[in-house]
Copies of this chain bind each other. A is one copy, B any other.
Amino acid sequence: MPPTIRLLEAPDFDNGFLATLANLSPVGLTPAEAERIWHLRKQAGVHTIVAEADGRIIGTASLILEQKFIHQGGSVGHIEDVAVHPDAGGHGIGSALVDHLTGLARERGCYKVILSCLDRLVPFYERLGFRRHDSGMRIDLKAV
């Protein structure tokens, strides 16, 4: 059965969400701490979705909606933190999550969706309709 893609809910913090994210980067939060951050993120307009299969969270991704001054006040969707549980790779979960967020951005009237990815993932995103447009730059301000 294909996974259900839906918005993150509070019970997910005890049900595979943090283990799924940890496959992307260290998390280091208790479920209660993560729930507090979730509320702050929602207030800032960040949408976090999950993929659920057999009652467990096996994927997640987030969308930041940014209203611009340019393009007549149009909005841009930023996809962030696409992660799939280590036991669930290779089944199209990541693709389903990205497609879902692209659809959500379209519903919200965004004129584009952007994301940064490691160079080796460019072909993955090209298969989902994205094209390489520019370079992702970073500066580290402290060790994490």
Interface residues of A (CB under 8 A from B): 18, 21-22, 24-29, 33-34, 37-38, 40-41, 44-46, 48, 64-74, 78, 80-81, 102, 105-106, 110-119, 122, 125-126, 128-144
> Which of A72, A110, A114, A138 gathers most chain B CB within 10 Å?
A138
Tell whether, in the assembled complex, residue B139 and residue A136 are in contact, meaning their CB atoms are under 8 Å apart.
no
The residue from B18, B117, B138 contacting A135, defined by CB atoms under 8 A apart? B117
Residue of B nearest to A130 (CB): B137
Min CB distance A35 to B, Å, is 10
Contacts of A37 in B (CB 8 A): 67-69, 73
How many Å lie between the Cα of A17 and that of B110 in the bound state? 23
By a CB distance below 8 angstroms, the chain B residues around A110 are: 141
